[in-house]
Chains A and B, each alone.
Chain A
């Protein structure tokens, strides 16, 4: 059990809530999808050979100077606008000074008391209830390099034989979105935290500002949690949990910290204000460096960069050009498709919203589109361990498939075979139908022959039917379907059998 491996005593989750009120806060880092880095012209593409996307500027070579990436500033402002923030008319970068090998300059260029965007909010829904998450600030900074600690058992710096640094990531524009403390979520705190990150991710995606892939680190989340004794006036001490690399982990990290902190407080102890690391495998957190003895970052305005003073007209242009945001889109589609809020949540959680929307746009009915994406295709994506959007089939092809069924060219059973063909790369649905001869048989000579053969081959069944046991006809239908290998339409076969057996 996890409690044994970490040595942390834990209180039952439900019990935590009888004595404590959780307060959560989230600091989310989004790597922007700009072509070049924040302060130099180096490429930002993920996965390149280590230290190939570097230059004197992002390596912090003596004498090099930063130049702010205008596209990153614009993307940050758009994120701020989407979160309902006020955009500062005067904003500055600041140096955050500390020593670590992955920050080449000995300071991180960030923003301190003059961020680009302040005072926004994001509403999230959990189990039918809406929670407002206040956004304190959205600011722009640069990412650090990546350390690889070689040797040792933990993969961390302590105990490693040596460490390697990859500066490809150093200087990639990073937007940090910081919430105000969120009280009042109670038992739903873990879900609210997750819903917030999910919604934020969708917004950033809708803006096209980042690919927001948590597994690649282009969206990273630090989760702050504190517990207040119920009825107490003072606020609890918070911990900051890092290395939370999936939506599920957000929820698990909050839950674990609530249970751990409650045990500390129940035991008369005090929660240490510290950075903790989340462990994906065990779902637990462990202590990192203590913030109480942490560095004084000695922030001061970055003298190598001029202040940002975004023009008010330009901000209004950006605001007017924002795309439809996810919440508005969901509300609109829910109404257009006439589905319930719960169904909409399923669609959104499955990542199928856009796919269904495009499928409908390509001519399918909303019901059919949902049926395919949430049914067969979801199952296949799950089996293949991939995302729906990554299946080798387009919404237009799903709409085409749906159309073939509606016009009677194929039936549901054949449709699944057609789907196999499309996913196997054999072409679009119509091509697969033609190539494999999967079309439903009409009242063709072939079908007439099959029907008559079935009647001739089972006189006993025919007699039963004629004596009133009409349901015995099913055996004849089955025989015909078997002969035609499923290509016949069952209704047509049944009608043809009835005409021949019952009218004679």
Chain B
């Protein structure tokens, strides 16, 4: 029998619907693989095991009764551990939430469950999504299936490692400054950050409210679009949710795969790895990006270079806005109502217990950002830091608007380098932050952006980022699917098929 963990979601859904495989079989195949492989990868913080089998059984029984189920019923899924799931441990990668079992579920978790998908478990992440390597997790290191000594990206590194390592067919990630796209790029996956407001944030443990978005990490563009269609759309529990219908995303992916990009105008952003802006970019990354753009041109796209000078300011602006919001979002972790409470021994007063709880519960990167954000919002500094950063944000948004007057999508490398070795940037936050250089502008402007594999450099995956105007997520899927289909066709197989088989694995 074929290995059920190697099959795409679109195909899995078809097999399940046709009754050729059962949800329990598919779920068990993944649980078995998690049991044998996750010891080395460290992708999961919590595995649902029997609960997953029970959920799969429910789907199979419903199908046996002839109930009408959605096309994805029975497909397993992994959730980044900041997606709140009722009764299932949810830690956001932090000790401060160790043991917390939420009394409610995130809207996207409910939508995935309503679609009949089966929760496999919760994936590792940088603590409170702060990081680009998943090394900031309070629990464990997660390894890149392409090279176990390298990082899987972050903050959604548990999700990227799980999907690339075939421990889940797809997974939810979240992206604040690049935390879906960068992990996707460095593990050879497709990762999409939707338009801000197009996927509900209700039940996502907040890092930076004005930037956070949940989205898919998948092995194909079509699978990513299918997941986006399940989780997207208006949610009255999220005030910032956009009340507009989703444009056909899976249809856009299918249309793109047909390989005709005539009439599509593609802008290559000079400031993101273009002439005069190559410092910090690996030559292999730049080469794959050039080649990918040539592929798009070969499919009929009209390619032009676009300049967005303010993008150079995205990184400093981001590292003021995101920590500022985080310093406030993380104030609720003080040991009064949930999670860790430290030092409540009857001798310490309230302030001391709160301070000690935060001292013990938060890791160094979280503390760094809370302090940074607290400082940036302080009276007397607000205008110089938070206020200025918001102005930069406006400038970046305007430059995007101007660029999209002339082009349909913008492209760039997703991240300046391939996956770096574990441990090499942990003591250098600035170097770590540089991993988000290319992904930050779309985050600040709230625009949709996808990362799609563009090839390998020194045997490691490289991603191309495709950015589109707000609510034009379909363009991302279309262009990404075109590149994917063309490269897979030329190669004769998928990039992920080149994933080295880990020693000892079947």
Docked complex Cα distance between A105 and B328 (Å): 8
Q: Which chain A residues lie closer than 8 Å to B333 at the CB level?
A: 62, 106
Contact A105 B338 (CB under 8 A): no
Docked complex Cα distance between A477 and B104 (Å): 82
Please tell me if B472 contacts chain A, counting CB pairs below 8 Å.
Answer: no
Contact B338 A61 (CB under 8 A): yes
Q: Min CB distance, B72 to chain A, in Å?
A: 24
Contact A56 B103 (CB under 8 A): yes
Contact A65 B382 (CB under 8 A): no
| 51-78 of chain A: CB within 8 A of chain B | 56, 59-68
Please tell me if B419 contacts chain A, counting CB pairs below 8 Å.
Answer: no
Q: What residue in chain B is nearest A106 (Cβ atoms)? A: B331
Q: Which chain A residues lie closer than 8 Å to B324 at the CB level?
A: 300
| 81-111 of chain A: CB within 8 A of chain B | 95, 97, 99, 101, 104-107
Contact A60 B332 (CB under 8 A): yes
Docked complex Cα distance between A300 and B366 (Å): 20
Extra A-B contacts (7), CB below 8 Å, given A101-B350, A299-B377: A56-B102, A62-B84, A99-B331, A99-B334, A106-B333, A300-B377, A303-B209
Q: Could you give, for residues 411-438 of chain B, a 1 whenever the CB lies within 8 Å of some chain A CB and a 0 otherwise?
A: 0000000000000000000000000000
Docked complex Cα distance between A61 and B378 (Å): 25
Q: Could you give, for residues 287-313 of chain A, a 1 whenever the CB lies within 8 Å of some chain B CB and a 0 otherwise?
A: 000000000101110011110000000
Contact A63 B386 (CB under 8 A): no
Most buried by A among B237, B240, B332, B337: B332
In the complex with contacts A56-B103, A305-B239, A306-B240, A65-B202 CB distance below 8 A: yes
| Other-chain residue from B84, B104, B337 in contact with A60 (beta carbon distance below 8 A) | B337
In the complex with contacts A303-B209, A304-B209, A305-B239, A63-B350 CB distance below 8 A: no
Please tell me if B317 contacts chain A, counting CB pairs below 8 Å.
Answer: no
Q: Which chain A residues lie closer than 8 Å to B141 at the CB level?
A: none
Please tell me if B92 contacts chain A, counting CB pairs below 8 Å.
Answer: yes
In the complex with contacts A61-B103, A107-B331, A300-B328, A157-B209 CB distance below 8 A: no
Q: Could you give, for residues 195-233 of chain B, a 1 whenever the CB lies within 8 Å of some chain A CB and a 0 otherwise?
A: 000000111111011100000000000000000000000
Contact B325 A303 (CB under 8 A): yes
Q: Which chain B residues lie closer than 8 Å to A64 at the CB level?
A: 104, 202-203
Please tell me if B354 contacts chain A, counting CB pairs below 8 Å.
Answer: yes
Contact B102 A66 (CB under 8 A): no
Please tell me if A461 contacts chain B, counting CB pairs below 8 Å.
Answer: no
Q: What residue in chain B is nearest A163 (Cβ atoms)? A: B350
Please tell me if B40 contacts chain A, counting CB pairs below 8 Å.
Answer: no
| 5-57 of chain A: CB within 8 A of chain B | 56
Q: Which chain B residues lie closer than 8 Å to A63 at the CB level?
A: 82-84, 102, 106, 202-206
Please tell me if A165 contacts chain B, counting CB pairs below 8 Å.
Answer: yes
Q: Min CB distance, A448 to chain B, in Å?
A: 81
Contact B328 A65 (CB under 8 A): no
Docked complex Cα distance between A61 and B350 (Å): 20
Please tell me if B465 contacts chain A, counting CB pairs below 8 Å.
Answer: no
| 350-378 of chain B: CB within 8 A of chain A | 350-351, 354, 374, 377-378
Q: What residue in chain B is nearest A97 (Cβ atoms)? A: B328
| Other-chain residue from A106, A157, A298, A304 in contact with B334 (beta carbon distance below 8 A) | A106
Contact B103 A298 (CB under 8 A): no
Contact A300 B239 (CB under 8 A): no
| 465-494 of chain A: CB within 8 A of chain B | none
Contact B97 A105 (CB under 8 A): no
Contact residues of A: prevailing secondary structure: loop
Please tell me if B238 contacts chain A, counting CB pairs below 8 Å.
Answer: yes
Please tell me if B90 contacts chain A, counting CB pairs below 8 Å.
Answer: yes
Contact B209 A298 (CB under 8 A): no
Q: Min CB distance, A131 to chain B, in Å?
A: 34
Residues of B in contact (CB 8 Å), total 46
Q: Which chain B residues lie closer than 8 Å to A56 at the CB level?
A: 102-104
Selected A-B contacts with CB under 8 Å, 12 pairs:
A60-B337, A61-B84, A62-B102, A63-B106, A63-B206, A106-B328, A106-B332, A106-B333, A298-B377, A298-B382, A300-B382, A304-B206
In the complex with contacts A64-B202, A97-B331, A303-B209, A104-B337 CB distance below 8 A: yes
Contact A105 B350 (CB under 8 A): no
- Report, nearest first, the 10 A-B pairs whose CB atoms are least far apart: A106-B331, A303-B209, A298-B377, A303-B210, A63-B84, A63-B203, A62-B205, A106-B332, A60-B332, A56-B104
Q: Which chain B residues lie closer than 8 Å to A298 at the CB level?
A: 327-328, 374, 377-379, 382
Q: What residue in chain A is nearest B324 (Cβ atoms)? A: A300
Contact A105 B331 (CB under 8 A): yes
Q: What residue in chain B is nearest A96 (Cβ atoms)? A: B328
| 175-203 of chain B: CB within 8 A of chain A | 201-203
Please tell me if B236 contacts chain A, counting CB pairs below 8 Å.
Answer: yes
Contact A95 B378 (CB under 8 A): no
Docked complex Cα distance between A4 and B174 (Å): 63
Docked complex Cα distance between A400 and B336 (Å): 59
Docked complex Cα distance between A63 and B386 (Å): 23
Docked complex Cα distance between A347 and B336 (Å): 49
Docked complex Cα distance between A296 and B82 (Å): 30
Docked complex Cα distance between A157 and B205 (Å): 31
Docked complex Cα distance between A61 and B85 (Å): 12
Q: Which chain B residues lie closer than 8 Å to A97 at the CB level?
A: 327-328, 331, 377
| 144-185 of chain B: CB within 8 A of chain A | none
Most buried by B among A62, A101, A304, A305: A62
Q: What residue in chain B is nearest A39 (Cβ atoms)? A: B239
Contact B331 A101 (CB under 8 A): no
Contact B331 A62 (CB under 8 A): no
Docked complex Cα distance between A304 and B203 (Å): 12
| Other-chain residue from A68, A95, A101, A299 in contact with B239 (beta carbon distance below 8 A) | A68
In the complex with contacts A59-B337, A298-B378, A304-B209, A65-B239 CB distance below 8 A: yes
Contact B238 A65 (CB under 8 A): yes
Q: Which chain B residues lie closer than 8 Å to A105 at the CB level?
A: 331-332
Q: Could you give, for residues 298-334 of chain B, a 1 whenever the CB lies within 8 Å of some chain A CB and a 0 otherwise?
A: 0000000000000000000000000011011011111
Q: Min CB distance, A310 to chain B, in Å?
A: 16
Docked complex Cα distance between A64 and B338 (Å): 14
Q: Which chain B residues lie closer than 8 Å to A305 at the CB level?
A: 239-240
Q: Which chain B residues lie closer than 8 Å to A306 at the CB level?
A: 239-240
Docked complex Cα distance between A477 and B50 (Å): 99
Q: Min CB distance, A104 to chain B, in Å?
A: 7
Q: What residue in chain B is nearest A57 (Cβ atoms)? A: B237
Q: Which chain A residues lie closer than 8 Å to B201 at the CB level?
A: 65
Contact A101 B336 (CB under 8 A): yes
Q: Which chain A residues lie closer than 8 Å to B386 at the CB level?
A: 300
Q: Which chain A residues lie closer than 8 Å to B84 at the CB level?
A: 61-63
Docked complex Cα distance between A104 and B92 (Å): 19
Contact B328 A304 (CB under 8 A): no
Most buried by A among B204, B237, B327, B379: B237
Docked complex Cα distance between A106 and B332 (Å): 5
Docked complex Cα distance between A277 and B378 (Å): 28
Q: Could you give, for residues 315-347 of chain A, a 1 whenever the CB lies within 8 Å of some chain B CB and a 0 otherwise?
A: 000000000000000000000000000000000
Docked complex Cα distance between A305 and B210 (Å): 10
Q: Which chain A residues lie closer than 8 Å to B331 at the CB level?
A: 97, 99, 105-107
Q: What residue in chain A is nearest B378 (Cβ atoms)? A: A296
Docked complex Cα distance between A61 and B334 (Å): 12
Q: Which chain B residues lie closer than 8 Å to A60 at the CB level?
A: 332, 337
Docked complex Cα distance between A163 and B92 (Å): 29
Docked complex Cα distance between A106 and B330 (Å): 8
Q: Min CB distance, A119 to chain B, in Å?
A: 24
Contact B104 A61 (CB under 8 A): yes
Contact B328 A67 (CB under 8 A): no
Docked complex Cα distance between A106 and B354 (Å): 11
Q: Min CB distance, B326 to chain A, in Å?
A: 11
Most buried by B among A99, A157, A305, A306: A99
Q: Min CB distance, A355 to chain B, in Å?
A: 43
Q: Min CB distance, A43 to chain B, in Å?
A: 18
Docked complex Cα distance between A303 and B240 (Å): 8
Docked complex Cα distance between A149 and B97 (Å): 27
Q: Which chain A residues lie closer than 8 Å to B208 at the CB level?
A: 303
Docked complex Cα distance between A64 and B378 (Å): 26
Most buried by A among B97, B206, B333: B206
